A and B are shown apart, each in its own frame.
Chain A
Amino acid sequence: MRRMSPLARRQAAWAYAFLVIPLVFFLWIRIYPVFSSFHIALLEWDIFSKVRPFVGLANFERMLTDRVLHKALLNTFEYILISMPIGLALALAIAMMINALNRGAGLFRTLYFIPYITSVVAVAAVWKWMFMKSGGLVNNILTGIGLPAQPFMNSTSQALGVVASNVIWQGLGFKIIIFLAGLKQIPRTFYEAAAIDGASRWAVFRHITIPLLNPTIVYLTVLTGIQTLQVFTQVFAISSGGQGGPLNATLSMVLYIYQKAFKSFDMGYASAITVLLFVIILIISLAQMKLVTRKVEY
């Protein structure tokens, strides 16, 4: 540590002081409740009772035989497997197209970003009406061009796709903006060099664009992963009665936690599931950072 002048030391002391106060607040509001819920996972508690008996790992044992939880787990992975690749690919494609525009780029950026800042619940309600089995917009179009009407939310196989399509659509705007920023900071000299060497468009994409976008891709992958693993609002708003139906076809982990905690008032079990979700998100995020990050060679 290099020696600091008295002035620098005083400035550093002020810096620490200013940093500590929000840090304490953050620890109290965000970190402490996390540990508190780890503690509640070991108890049996119905929110009202003053008495909270210690039950050890009973809540975790219960998770092993809970078929609905297993379905929620499966669904949550399905959400991420469907919406992440499609969402990222679409966003990148649109970002590249906008990037290639000379005029109107600003307009398209705005248009594509608007869904992201629209109320999630409002969009989900519109989605619900659009995908109605009888009289919904999508089925009207399908039957109009001669295809059979689909059951959509009345089908255990299609319902999750409907919700996932909403998640993808609304998340595009943010990813496009981030990708655009990432594309813009790729130096033009690389593209010019590739043009001189006569590289094909696909080669340019594969060997210049993707590698140099790597930090952006990692960032969006981890962020989308964390968000999608916690999908709740869209499932709650689109499925009938907010139940994650039909027959748990759209049920996500967070919706199940919500049901257990605030409809059944089974706080201990709900907290145990949040611990499980925490571990899953942690593992997946670390895995993504390890696997997707590549050292960029210029």
Chain B
Amino acid sequence: MKKLSLLLVLALLLGLALPAGLAEEPVTIEYWQYYFESKVALIDELIAQFEAENPGIKVNHQHFPYDSYQEKIAASVAAGEGPDIVNLFYGWVPKYVKSGVLQPLPAGSFSPEAIEAEFAPMVTINKFDGVYYTIPTAVRTLGLLYNKDILAENGYEAPPATLDELVEMAVKMTRRNAAGELELEGLTFQPDGQLHGFFRPVLLRLFGQAPLSEDYKTVQWNASEAGYEAFKWMTDLATVHKVGEVNFMTNDATAFRNGAAAMSIDGSYRLSALETDGTLNYGVAPIPSHEGRQSSFGTFWTNGILAGVEGKELEAAEKFLAFLTSEPVMRTWTQRIGEIGARTSIAQDEELLKDEKLAPFIEMLPVADSYFYVDEAADRKIVVDAVDMVLLNDMDPREVLDWAVNEAQALLDSYWK
């Protein structure tokens, strides 16, 4: 009896070992992104599709809360436990490249020539010394959201087309109660929300001033009278026209979502939240022009390969990245997530342009610029503090802008040294 059971066990083991020995070890790569419900769900589906098409590769998908995402990456990379492919905000890339965290994209699938021919112009912001380190699936632009009901109540049928019209309409639609307290904002005013990203680069460009030099080494917000005018136009919204207040309804997105703001400058990423609410009657328009100029702010979450990845994992990562940035995937992404596929072919897609909420964002792609952040949090704080100095401390906008440029220049200098 003992001999028989021993034979049985041996046979079992052999039976298990043989097929395993014949089949190939699947390569496993790890992909990290921040938690955003629709993105996480879609990535899971895409991974299933990719694994079906590539049987030798397994992709392990991990996601983390947005607030602690950067810290998580930093701590893991420092401990040598990072992923193979990481999804990053484009504004973090300069720092990551400088610290040697990312490796250049494999030239086979991602040559600079191919990228520049096929992708939206804003992706060039992540090019360093002629080399690309990251590539996005989709990008976002800034547009003008407006509450159709509030506009109609005030006799407006169409959103403003110029900055002057924007101010005029905002003033008319702003409502205050008997005590003078704001009840309804004409235009949201939240520097630490979307307004700082609107100021540079969009507002500066609309007034005719490029925010940075071509080599990204010099801050030029106050390089001409146009720069001062742009900054004053922004602070006037709160001090002169009084169409909005900082922290009204705690922030811009909350105010607009709850119908407490007539208009709001916000990004295409806001669409998914507004659609989920489902009750707001809102429209989307391109950012109003000024003196014949059009501009928008382009941001994107982009994918890079970590520096230590090599061999089979690197090949697998390259394949997965090519898949993630392929046209069909981008099309699905645009429809499901509300971000716009990063290839210029997507921007001209007839089907996608039929969506009246997405179309204005897509139309702005050719005029959308990104901004070279070396420290996004610090840069944002400079603009936020600058606005507060004018609003709370009654300082002269010209002096404040000069101060802000000095601070921003110091940031750039410490990066490029």
A residues sitting closer than 8 Å to B (CB atoms) are 46-50, 128-129, 132-135, 139, 143, 149, 153-156, 240-241, 243, 245-248, 259, 262-265
Contacts and interface: CB of A to CB of B under 8 A. Distances in A.
Contacts of B70: 262-263
B261 to A, nearest CB: 12
B249 A48 contact: no
Interface stretch (B20-28, B29-37, B176-184): B176-184
A110 B314 CA distance: 59
23 contacts: A47-B74, A48-B78, A48-B95, A48-B99, A132-B247, A132-B248, A132-B250, A134-B182, A143-B181, A154-B246, A155-B392, A156-B388, A156-B393, A240-B192, A241-B192, A246-B392, A247-B388, A247-B392, A248-B385, A259-B377, A263-B377, A264-B375, A264-B378
A59 to B, nearest CB: 14
B384 interface: yes
A143 B181 CA distance: 10
Given A134-B245, A143-B179, A245-B384, A47 B78 contact: yes
Interface of B: 70-71, 74-75, 77-78, 95-96, 99-101, 179, 181-183, 192-193, 245-251, 375, 377-378, 380-381, 384-385, 388-389, 392-393
B244 to A, nearest CB: 11
A246 B392 CA distance: 9
Contacts of B393: 156, 247
Contacts of A46: 95, 99
Contacts of A263: 70, 375, 377-378
A32 to B, nearest CB: 16
A182 to B, nearest CB: 40
Interface of B is mostly: helix
B389 A48 contact: no
A263 B91 CA distance: 12
A120 to B, nearest CB: 15
A161 B94 CA distance: 39
B247 A48 contact: no
Given A46-B95, A47-B75, A154-B245, A149 B181 contact: yes
Nearest to A151: B392
A6 B220 CA distance: 82
Contacts of B378: 263-264
A163 to B, nearest CB: 14
B246 to A, nearest CB: 6
Contacts of A265: 74, 95
Nearest to A247: B388
Contact of B192 (A49, A50, A243): A243
A248 B375 CA distance: 18
Contact of B384 (A139, A155, A241): A241
| A-B complex: 8 closest residue pairs judged by Cβ atoms | A48-B99, A241-B192, A263-B377, A47-B74, A134-B182, A134-B181, A246-B388, A247-B388
Contacts of A149: 179, 181
B72 to A, nearest CB: 10
Nearest to A156: B392
Contacts of B380: 241
A48 B182 CA distance: 46
Contact of A48 (B101, B179, B193): B101
B389 A247 contact: yes
Nearest to B74: A47
Contacts of B389: 247
A283 to B, nearest CB: 30
A183 to B, nearest CB: 41
B269 to A, nearest CB: 17
A245 B382 CA distance: 12
Given A48-B77, A246-B388, 16 more contacts: A47-B74, A47-B75, A48-B95, A48-B101, A49-B99, A133-B248, A134-B249, A135-B183, A154-B392, A240-B247, A245-B192, A247-B385, A247-B389, A262-B71, A263-B70, A264-B378
Contacts of B96: 48
Nearest to A258: B71
Contacts of B377: 259, 263-264
Nearest to B376: A263
A69 to B, nearest CB: 14
Nearest to A45: B78
A50 B384 CA distance: 34
Contacts of B101: 48
A50 B77 CA distance: 10
A132 B254 CA distance: 13
A128 B250 contact: yes
Nearest to B247: A240
A134 B78 contact: no
User: Which residue, A48, A129, A149, has most C-beta atoms of chain B within 10 A?
Assistant: A48
Given A154-B392, A245-B388, A48 B192 contact: no
User: Which residue, A133, A245, A248, has most C-beta atoms of chain B within 10 A?
Assistant: A245
B192 A133 contact: no
A245 B192 CA distance: 10
A134 B246 CA distance: 10
Contact of B100 (A48, A155, A247): A48
A153 B381 CA distance: 16
Contacts of B384: 241, 243, 245
Contacts of A47: 74-75, 77-78, 99
B99 A154 contact: no
Nearest to A261: B71
B74 A48 contact: yes
B246 A49 contact: no
A146 B183 CA distance: 19
Contacts of B71: 262
Contacts of A139: 181
Nearest to A139: B181
A272 B403 CA distance: 27
B274 to A, nearest CB: 21
B202 to A, nearest CB: 20
